[in-house]
Structure 1
């Protein structure tokens, strides 16, 4: 069997979820909460949903959510989270290798939180597909780390961190069809593995597509 980039990514993330136990807190990302709390609920697509915290939070606010991840284990945990929250009827889960496959349909909100990976990821293509999946009048929300945490003295792997402008340039969304509503760098507290206090900067893009 050919050792393709997709296979490597799938093996990496599946092993990380399967062998490491629960990875995340179960709480939604704070910048999703900040940016999406005022939106009118509709259909939502959560890319790289992990264990489902963002999708379940959106569902709890009236959204009909499709969560997508590369890891079977992550999706199983996400579905369990939704069931325990009584929101299984508002959530659906699909496995995709983003960059190679993508969910069908259009959505009132496409949420892309931290689509950054130590394994090769076609980030530009995924974000373009995310924009294409936004329905007329809908919202594209992207959040990504702007750099390593303040306490990270030695980067664990090589990484490029997109700037606010570079993502806008890569997306090249028509200005007559899209309105930029948030373009922001947010500093938030970040604890080191040994509990030391620090911070991390995140970049936020929120864009609304024009009505048809």
Structure 2
């Protein structure tokens, strides 16, 4: 973990040194914990005052994430504060996942919904042979909505003029109380953002945390 070198009490400097050493030791490593594997791209954070076991402005970037819940090209986890003790808790948590179209299609709980691809920087779904619909994704409190905005054929592209109905799927149930806040496309991938005000590890998470720390 990185951050500015500022004059600080000895205990804070030691904690800061440990954070930086942990970050440097993890960067570039491929880590496998139970049924989850990922490569650590970067770890950043700052000690939170004099308190040992607390950090703020934490940012963790993982590449090639393979887990039962998600397969992501990149996963960026940010939080305002992180506390490590008998449990692990974080506030102001934001998670940004970069997914391929196939990973996005199976994202969440596997609910049936539009089978999508990413073409020309937008979501597409097949309608008839050789004809696709360009979709605008929207996030509501209860569901994900995909609204057709254009019909694309080998002969050209036409606006749907709001005549075609939207397709919806339930908003996926994510761990730790995370909720999807935004879906966007860029290039040939889908970027899904989620957030929660507070996340706390449950007792069932502790063995996995110990294995992760051991791997680190």
**Please, what TM-score do these two structures have when normalized by structure 2?**
0.29
Larger radius of gyration: 2
Of Structure 1 and Structure 2, which has the larger fraction of its residues in strand?
2
Of Structure 1 and Structure 2, which has the larger fraction of its residues in helix?
1
**Please, what TM-score do these two structures have when normalized by structure 1?**
0.30
